[in-house]
Structure 1
Amino acid sequence: MSYTLFLLLISLSKSSLLRSEPDVRSSILLALEKATVFMESQYQDINLDAVLGFHILQGYLEGILEKWSSEHQSLAQRAQVESLVRKLSSVIEKATHFLAQNDPKYFKEFEPILGPDFWVFPRLWNQTDSLLAYSAFGGTKCLTEEISDLCLTYLLGTGKESGKSCIVTSTCRNIMTKLGCSDYSLSHQLFYFMFADLKGCSDHLFLRAQYYKNIFCASMMKINLEIETNGFQFSSRDLFMENSKDFEHTSGGTDQKHLLRRIKRREKLFADGCSSHNTAVAVGTLGGFLYYYC
């Protein structure tokens, strides 16, 4: 399933300008319906990443319905979106129940981002300025998944100072604003500022949030263009999707067994080999495409 969604993302990025908006919307909706049916059959086995990806998708779809409330749109496509939102609500509710039982500590730490009102998206889009991208990227990872999780839980109010949100430690400030990072370190820096925005944090660091997000997005786009130039190698596909939303950024030659050891520590592979994380990132990204085309 994640590979099929990846191919659709490639198709959209390459040819959507040549297709009508209704056609693009139809392609995305069909893919999202199939992904939702797939996840409905797997809801007992999906991890937090997958639940989060479908929450993000749900936020985009609800935003689309709000947009369409004041505009003339295809009644058939509106009905599709409404039906998808209903099905997603059911899948998310069941998956969240099992997630809370299977991984209670991690669930508690990130429960706020699984709320129904957390993922509210702006109607306006920022234009990526390629001139802001890093001229070169650092050769080492800037942060670990553990440090990233810790900094995010401080923002969410579920960290060591449980109950008090929007805490910015000096370590998190330094790591999350470090320039020259790449790959998953770069995307997690962006998530940090996104979470702060959605949480409504007012620390003076976030007065420059848009400055950092502009740099991070431009640099992520630069990496994605390099991935495209290199033929979308297997080792880069998940990163490509996350950048459009741990492997090192490599030039290839890495076998699949080695890659599986680098996947996020709570990653789950389904019986058919599909990645819970890849699928989650893909559906969230496709939701963003659909939101844009509406």
Structure 2
Amino acid sequence: MGYLTVTFTILLLIHSSSSDLNQDCVQNEKLLETILTSLQNSLVFLGKEYDSLNLDVISGLRMTQAEIKAAFVRTPYLPTESGKGSLQARLAAMSTFIDEIVTLAKPYVYRTLPVYYNNFSELLKKEFWAVSSWNKDHVLLNTPFSFGNNQVEKITEAASDRCLTELLGTGPSKKKCTIASECLAIMEADGYKGYEVTHQLLYFILIDRLRCFSYDRIRHQRNDYVIKGLCSNIFQQASDLSKTEFNGRIDHDLFMEQIAFCGGLLGYKEFLRSDWLNYILSWQLDSGCFSVINSKLSENSGYRRKRMDVKLADGGYGCFGHCTAVAVISLGGYLRETVATMKTCIEWN
């Protein structure tokens, strides 16, 4: 465990503050510190639990690392309120720490589920993930998106995994970018809710990351439009969910997954709302993990105990790796957006 000690020390040299997302430069500097504190505390927690993490959590850390990289390149010199060094140095420390966690965790993941590890190990590579660039056209649709196909069956984890392995080249075909007709029948269908839609979205994200349509501009553009359309639908579901105040439901995890994919990884700013950030921050425990307290963790509740997602050590609270991972990815999106605003503040000055 000594391998992590130095980085633990670096990450703990921070302090907490609070603010809101806005265009006020002073307030955004405080907000940046709040996001950094929350994100770094979560990484420290996951580092301590490296031997209990699953593959989903580790791939989530790689997504977060891609967000940190995107923030890093935009801010070579910005200071932060804490005075603990340049923001660039702090972001570099976080990225290095993620490398360390992944290195330590991978043998335990392989030992637990070797076949699953071999099928999805590409998702653990740093170079696999990149965040989408933001521009004036990178906005959600104003109307609901539809494939025009009726839902044929539920998207189970088994069905989703089967389709994803075909894309990755670890399925029966052993050829990357294999898009099976039975997968399209499931993935290009309407009527899904919750995790089923984020499963759909991940399928098309992998098509993009694997450059499956790089040879065909029309199909590539359609894939981009599908991703935008699914995030548009997910945004409406997340908005509806936020109005429930998550009372007696298991939807902390789902809500953060929706923000993680569409706001964090794909960069749709509509998801990076201040009130939604406040929800996320309120679910973090002192340990750094994120809680599903007041949630009904039954198999029928919709919460995914995915890949043996064991409860992590946190004094008996509802602290799960997947919940913490999607929170970290979400915070990475907020980090990137806030850094972009801070860079604008410097340019104005």
For normalisation by structure 2, the TM-score amounts to: 0.71
Mapped to 1, the partners of 2:153 and 2:254 lie a distance apart of 14
Mapped to 2, the partners of 1:205 and 1:151 lie a distance apart of 18
Q: Does 1:197 align with 2:202?
A: no
Superposed, 1:176-195 pairs within 5 Å as 176-195=187-206
Which residue matches 1:127? Answer: 139
Larger Rg: 2
Which residue matches 2:122? Answer: 112
Which of 20, 39, 43 does residue 46 from structure 2 map onto?
39
Q: Does 1:282 align with 2:332?
A: no
How far did residue 54 of structure 1 move? Answer: 0.8
Structure 1 gap ranges (5+): 1-10, 246-252
Q: What is the RMSD computed on CA atoms of the aligned residues?
A: 2.5
Which residue matches 1:238? Answer: 253
Q: Does 1:150 align with 2:162?
A: yes
Superposed, 1:23-172 pairs within 5 Å as 23-69=30-76, 72-74=77-79, 76-124=86-134, 126-132=138-144, 142-162=154-174, 164-172=175-183
Mapped to 2, the partners of 1:26 and 1:78 lie a distance apart of 13
Mapped to 1, the partners of 2:34 and 2:163 lie a distance apart of 37
How far did residue 67 of structure 1 move? Answer: 2.2
Structure 2 gap ranges (5+): 1-17, 80-84, 261-293, 340-349
Which of 259, 282, 291 does residue 336 from structure 2 map onto?
291
Mapped to 1, the partners of 2:323 and 2:152 lie a distance apart of 23
Mapped to 1, the partners of 2:124 and 2:200 lie a distance apart of 20
How far did residue 23 of structure 1 move? Answer: 2.2
| Per-residue deviation, residues 239-276 of structure 1 (Å, max 9, x unmatched) | 1111112xxxxxxx984445678523412211323111
Name the structure with the higher helix share: 1
| Per-residue deviation, residues 3-24 of structure 1 (Å, max 9, x unmatched) | xxxxxxxx98xx4237633222
- Native 8 Å contact 2:168 2:176 kept in 1: yes
Q: 1:259 to 1:270 in 2, by over 3 A?
A: farther
- Native 8 Å contact 2:250 2:301 kept in 1: no
Q: Using the aligned pairs only, state the percent identity.
A: 27
Mapped to 2, the partners of 1:196 and 1:54 lie a distance apart of 20
Which residue matches 2:268? Answer: none
- Native 8 Å contact 1:235 1:259 kept in 2: no
Q: Report the residue type matching 1:271 in the other structure.
A: A
Mean Cα deviation higher: 197-206 or 20-29: 197-206
Which residue matches 1:5? Answer: none
Q: 1:133 to 1:169 in 2, by over 3 A?
A: closer
Q: Report the residue type matching 1:201 in the other structure.
A: C
Q: Does 1:227 align with 2:268?
A: no
Mapped to 1, the partners of 2:106 and 2:313 lie a distance apart of 20
Mapped to 1, the partners of 2:220 and 2:116 lie a distance apart of 26
Which structure ranks higher in relative contact order (CA pairs < 8 Å, sequence separation ≥ 6)? 1
Which of 222, 229, 236 does residue 215 from structure 1 map onto?
229
Q: 1:140 to 1:22 in 2, by over 3 A?
A: farther
| Per-residue deviation, residues 41-80 of structure 1 (Å, max 9, x unmatched) | 10001111111111111111122222224xx522522221
Q: Report the residue type matching 2:73 in the other structure.
A: E
The size of the alignment, in residue pairs, is 269
Name the SS for the 2:246 alignment partner.
coil
How far did residue 27 of structure 1 move? Answer: 1.1
| Per-residue deviation, residues 151-210 of structure 1 (Å, max 9, x unmatched) | 111111111122x10000001112111122111110111111111111111277544112
Mapped to 1, the partners of 2:152 and 2:58 lie a distance apart of 30
Name the SS for the 1:123 alignment partner.
coil
Q: Report the residue type matching 1:73 in the other structure.
A: L
